[in-house]
Amino acid sequence: MDLRDPQHAQVSVVVIGHDDAPHITGAVRSALAQGPVVREVLAVDDGSTDGSPDLLDALAAREPRLRVLRRTDNSGGCGTPRNDGLAAASAPYALFLDSDDLLPPRAAALLLAAAREQRAEVAAGLCVRRELPHGPDRPWQPRLYAPPAAPAVLGHPSERPELTRDTLCVNKLYRTDFLRAHDVRFPEGRFPYEDFVFTARVLAAGPRLALIPDPVYFWQVRRDADRLSISLDRAGIDNWRARTDAHRAAVDVLFTAGEHALARASRAGFLDLGLRMYARELDRRTPEYRRQWWAHTRSYLGTFDPDDLNPVDRPGRLLAGVLLAAPQPQDLPRLRELASRPARLLPPHARGQDATPLWSNELPVPLDRLAARPLRTLPLTVSARLRPRLRGTTLRLRLHEFYGRVAQAEPVRAEAEFVERRTGRVGARCPARFRSAPDGTPPDDRTWTAEATVPLRRLGAGTWDLRVLLRFADGTERLTSAHATDGPGLLRRRALPSAGRGVRLVQPYATHSGSLALRIALGPRGAFGVFRRRLVRLLGSRRRP
């Protein structure tokens, strides 16, 4: 088969990189391995000084489809090298790839087939976010690409406004003549979150789209890297300012194009994704960061239309309402729990003079619409504490009232599941029955408790997340996470005897969102590995500014 045959070699893959010698050849090889549908791979080196260009040149000497484009100076961002690659592309379609990511087998062929069969200017597929080195793999925006949402053909993006939530540019195939005809380019120079603006420009141009359910991109996340990616390097306030600036620019693009439904959907996505992600981390930041973040966020939310924030029936909109009501940072633990996934609303619960549910007496943000939602969607709070002991490990759960809704539904049973983070496998299920609070407890302070024995022998070495399935008398079920109860000795590492292994190291801990999880190491070697990884993380955090 002639690789230059226009009937087959239809795709230019643009790979960008800067000082990423350990990974860039792997990315390029994954592009070349796509087969004859790829006419060329354009590797754009953005002023690297670590030997990356030499590695690419050596590979190009053996691979006729690889072209290396060198920039003498680093542009400071991802947009300029992508624009360079797009300008040099000779194939009818273009696909973008970052130097530290990979294309799964046949990704280009699947996207090309969808684009050609459906006469679409843009074809998009599932991006898989892969936590390295041991997982887990999580799909990005799966509701857009999982059946029955995909496969699908959309004559215009406005047919599915939630497309604005997928701001990535790398899991999509674009007709190059479409991008050039509409002058769709990335922002130049140092512009973090440049794909927000590029994606908005694509949608504003009104393409016909084809969506497929297949994985087409592996987004590889390396949290222990010496140089964190933009999406992970969130410790400084400049990252949040860059994100809001990019989102503001994207919304302006959509409004200017007359795509008001898409612009409002983009704002809703910002509240549900970006705002919740950063709010989960607030109580781990410095007081100065919190002050600046709070002031900047309130200022940005002030540019939203009232219809973008009301009704307050979703966690992101409720977060925005609390922020706008509070001049200074407050209620950070409750905000973190509300921002978790799934959302949890910790007590205390307040009511107005007319019994309307409120966020608190100090911040009387109304929750009447939130409290009226179906029980299976409410941000119910389950607190949990785990006590690893020689005689048996006990898990105690406490379900809190939610403005009378829990008592009305009558909780009956709870089933705790320990899910292996790397694989998603359920290692143990622990059923328990609820017991109600004593008589005389104020209605909004009522709790229901349940206790279960955890068979640690069924849980191997690794990290285990706790999920709790709540069952109510009316047949309703609610799957949620559990808030980690802190206290003397509750979140402490314990060494327990293990048959055949000598020792089992068990540590309950609170995740960044406050959920209870469990780390287990088996034997002396496993215990040593836990301490070694902890030391590496500690030293790495000290090296970063």
Domains of the chain: which residue ranges? 11-227, 238-373, 382-543
Q: How many CA atoms lie within 13 A of 254 on its CB side?
A: 25
- Rounded distance, CA 402 to CA 86, Å? 53
Average pLDDT over residues 274-289: 94
pLDDT surpasses 70 at 509: yes
Stretch among 179-193, 269-283, 383-397, 500-514 having the lowest mean pLDDT: 500-514
Supply the pLDDT for residue 226.
Answer: 61
Supply the pLDDT for residue 500.
Answer: 59
Who's near 434: CB < 8 A, 6+ residues apart?
399, 411, 412, 413, 414, 448, 449, 450
Pairing of strands 38-46, 11-17: parallel
Q: What is the distance of C-alpha 421 from the center of its chain?
A: 15
Supply the pLDDT for residue 388.
Answer: 86
Residues 169, 171, 175, 176: what is their CA dihedral angle, to the nearest 10 degrees? 50
Q: Give residue 333's pLDDT band: very low, low, confident or very high (50, 70, 90).
A: very high
pLDDT surpasses 90 at 498: no
Average pLDDT over residues 110-130: 97
Quickly list DSSP for 87-149: HH--SSEEEEEETT-BPPTTHHHHHHHHHHHTT-SEEEEEEEEEEETT--EEEESHHHHSTTT
pLDDT surpasses 50 at 185: yes
Instruction: Assess contact for 1 and 8: CB atoms under 8 A.
Output: yes
Supply the pLDDT for residue 522.
Answer: 87
Supply the pLDDT for residue 2.
Answer: 42
Supply the pLDDT for residue 4.
Answer: 44
Supply the pLDDT for residue 540.
Answer: 46
Supply the pLDDT for residue 486.
Answer: 80
For domain 382-543, the question of CATH label 2.60.40 is answered with yes
Average pLDDT over residues 181-186: 98
Average pLDDT over residues 233-244: 91
Structure tokens at 428: 């143990």
Supply the pLDDT for residue 480.
Answer: 95
The answer to whether the pTM exceeds 0.85 is yes
Residue environment code for 367-384, b if the CB has 16+ CB neighbours within 10 A, otherwise e: bbebbeeebeebbbbbbb
- Rounded distance, CA 291 to CA 285, Å? 10
- Rounded distance, CA 220 to CA 136, Å? 11
pLDDT surpasses 60 at 543: no
Average pLDDT over residues 411-419: 95
Supply the pLDDT for residue 57.
Answer: 96
Supply the pLDDT for residue 146.
Answer: 92
Percent of the chain with pLDDT over 90: 74
Q: Which fold has domain 11-227?
A: Spore Coat Polysaccharide Biosynthesis Protein SpsA; Chain A (3.90.550)
Supply the pLDDT for residue 538.
Answer: 46
Element (H, E) at 387: strand 382-387
Q: For the chain, what is the mean pLDDT?
A: 90
Average pLDDT over residues 326-338: 95
pLDDT surpasses 50 at 338: yes
Topology alike, domains 11-227 and 382-543 = no
Structure tokens at 519: 């780390």
Percent of the chain with pLDDT over 70: 91
Scanning 257-367, the segments in alpha helix (DSSP H) are: 260-269, 276-279, 287-301, 306-309, 315-325, 332-339
